[in-house]
Structure 1
Amino acid sequence: MASSSHFLCSHHTYAPHNPKKLHFDSFTNAPLHRFYSFKPQGSSPLRKKLQSSRTHLIRAAASDPTTGRKQLEVVYDLENKLNKLADEVDRDAGISRLTLFSPCKINVFLRITGKRADGFHDLASLFHVISLGDKIKFSLSPSKSTDRLSTNVPGVPLDDKNLIIKALNLFRKKTGTDNYFWIHLDKKVPTGAGLGGGSSNAATALWAANQFSGCVASEKDLQEWSGEIGSDIPFFFSHGSAYCTGRGEVVEDIPTPIPLDLPMVLIKPEEACPTGEVYKRVRLDQTSQIDPLVLLEKISVGGISQDVCINDLEPPAFEFVPTLKRLKQRLAAAGRGQYDAVFMSGSGSTIVGVGSPDPPQFVYDDDEYKNVFVSEAKFITRSANQWYSEPLSTEETACFTQDVE
């Protein structure tokens, strides 16, 4: 496995097995004399690596025009060398703790294109990762038989009904590794929201398990395996923007057609929309007939607008949760000139207003919406061979509106 993949672990919060391990990140901005004065002693593997690294200096002789004396110039790419060195040390030491951001997604458009023989529906959708997400802390467990999951919110299953546990079981089955974990899920993404929070958690767990095992699987492996436990999970192994077909598990990475600084607001009422209940109410004769590739092209050329943000699951979701239709209508009416488009994400019940991070005032004023979930967000992507990072500007933006006594 290439060391560059394993070095991903050093970009996240973790503690190495060896508590005396040097933290090289603090070295990169240090003055040069700090490195020259560092003289490792003894013959440990780390010290040998440090000693050998000192031999990679490039020396150039030059004459001082005033004195005529020859001077020695030392050229040394410290950051590159220390990154490589930290890579080797990390690989040798392994990791015992890891904290990862687990972002959710929205469907910019979602077309239902047919009914399959297996009972599922074919869809075609532009999925995009957004900056709202959970945080998951993983720690190696001394147990070799069970994982332990905790969370900050009630109602989340903590056994193998949870996609995190399913993902860890799947990874062990596919790789033969025997790592078990203590996991804490800091949940911010609401459930039953059409935002893929659980699917993201599962993808993040697969990524984490792979880091703990020394990256024995490729990203492509993780993506293919993940489809066995959920249709939306493979998407999160894209780079953040993808055209998805089939049940959602056929993922085509595309360059993001949307400006990443385009803001949005997410509003989710208390009522949830169970995916199965929504799909049961789909009537193909009432879906849009526009070619989804035409929608994708329009977005790529002209950006987001109301006419391209089509979601064929809105009518069945509005049938299941009638108040959801009213919320979309009120948001669109109050936000004229404020939002480029207002639409439902996935199977609901989140309504998205793209173009502004601010909800209309009625969301705060009306008793009908006193307990809705409100969050601002932006579109995000990830770099190759790295997991998603939480943008600092959106940290702690999610909230619940409620009356204050």
Structure 2
Amino acid sequence: MLTFPNAKINIGLNITEKRPDSFHNIESVFYPVNWCDALEIIPSTQFGFQSSGLAIPGDQTSNLCVKAYHLLRNEYPVLNTGSVLFHLHKVIPMGAGLGGGSADGAFALKMLNEIFELNLSTVALQNFARRLGSDCAFFIENRPVFCFNKGDEFEEYPLSLKGKFIVLVNPAIHISTAEAYGGVTPKKPEVSIKEALKLPLNKWEGLIKNDFEENLLWKYPAIAEIKKTLYEQKALYASMTGSGSTVYGIFEQETDLKSMFADFMVWQGYLT
């Protein structure tokens, strides 16, 4: 079985408060983007995991695909009667604010559910995904949502950017979660993301904000320059996604900017 786990972007990201468990509560809209990895799972007599494409740091036990397999295996004995071979071709850059690893883990859960005929409901799959990571559950339904709490609780949100063109630029600057949150003072937003998103897309600038940007764009001028350039190229809206360092611009029409960002990793295409 072969699937293509996709990335997501954050449209707005407010860090509203620090939780007693040391996590943070956030508010954001997650939107799927068709920048994809490729994940193949084949039934086998013994377990195996291999990868190609971008190098994945750490050993395979820390990979969310492998964790997804063992998570289900601990709950459902049928997984002990057979095993699987994973092959992950990694295309989405890691630590980039795009949720690529989370997507891989969530898609692995969905595929294993089908291969072993577990008949898990969407809610059950989301609950397993939450045990893998905060934003993994988003990729079970994989559609635009308003997210809150740790980023793992969702409300349906009627946002469609279908037909708009998006350019994502990743400058390969690694920003750890601790570094990103260390530069933020949690606060309630002046303007609700839900309300701001009701405005036309070209009115979002200055209203829909990513709270990580204030510190990180000052600390890493290359990220700020990417955002500035996207606006100069007539982006309707541009923002860093997640805790960075990827920046995206949303355009009314197709805009080829690969040559402009020749030193960086770039993906561009239509939103659906």
TM-score, normalised by the number of residues in structure 1: 0.62
Q: Does 1:267 align with 2:162?
A: no
Which structure has the higher relative contact order (CA within 8 Å, separation 6+)?
2
Structure 1, gaps ≥5 residues long: 1-97, 381-405
Structure 1 position 288, deviation (Å): 4.3
Of the three residues 206, 223, 228, the one matched with 1:324 is 223
1:238-249 matched pairs, under 5 angstroms = 238-249=141-152
1:5-404 matched pairs, under 5 angstroms = 98-143=1-46, 146-176=47-77, 177-178=79-80, 179-255=82-158, 257-284=159-186, 288-296=189-197, 298-299=198-199, 302-303=200-201, 305-332=204-231, 334-335=232-233, 338-355=234-251, 356-360=253-257, 364=259, 369-380=261-272
Q: Deviations over 1:215-273 (max 9, x none)?
A: 43112101011111200101112341111101100022333x12311111011102122
Is this contact kept in 1: 2:98–2:241, CA < 8 A?
Answer: yes
Is this contact kept in 2: 1:263–1:354, CA < 8 A?
Answer: yes
d(CA) in 2 for partners of 1:268, 1:152: 16
Q: Which amino acid aligns with 1:246?
A: N
d(CA) in 1 for partners of 2:238, 2:215: 17
Q: Deviations over 1:367-398 (max 9, x none)?
A: xx543011113333xxxxxxxxxxxxxxxxxx
d(CA) in 1 for partners of 2:213, 2:219: 10
Closer, same or farther: CA 293–370 of 1 in aligned 2, 3 Å: closer
Q: Which has the larger radius of gyration?
A: 1
Over the matched positions of the two proteins, sequence identity in percent amounts to 28
Structure 1 position 359, deviation (Å): 4.9
d(CA) in 1 for partners of 2:147, 2:256: 29
Is this contact kept in 2: 1:238–1:253, CA < 8 A?
Answer: no
Is this contact kept in 1: 2:5–2:36, CA < 8 A?
Answer: yes
Is this contact kept in 2: 1:267–1:372, CA < 8 A?
Answer: yes
Q: Which amino acid aligns with 1:372?
A: F
Closer, same or farther: CA 136–120 of 1 in aligned 2, 3 Å: same
- Number of aligned residues: 268
Q: Which amino acid aligns with 1:188?
A: V
Q: Deviations over 1:113-158 (max 9, x none)?
A: 1111111111011101111111111111211xx4323222224445
More strand by share: 2
Structure 2, gaps ≥5 residues long: none
Structure 1 position 321, deviation (Å): 2.8
Q: Which amino acid aligns with 2:205?
A: Q
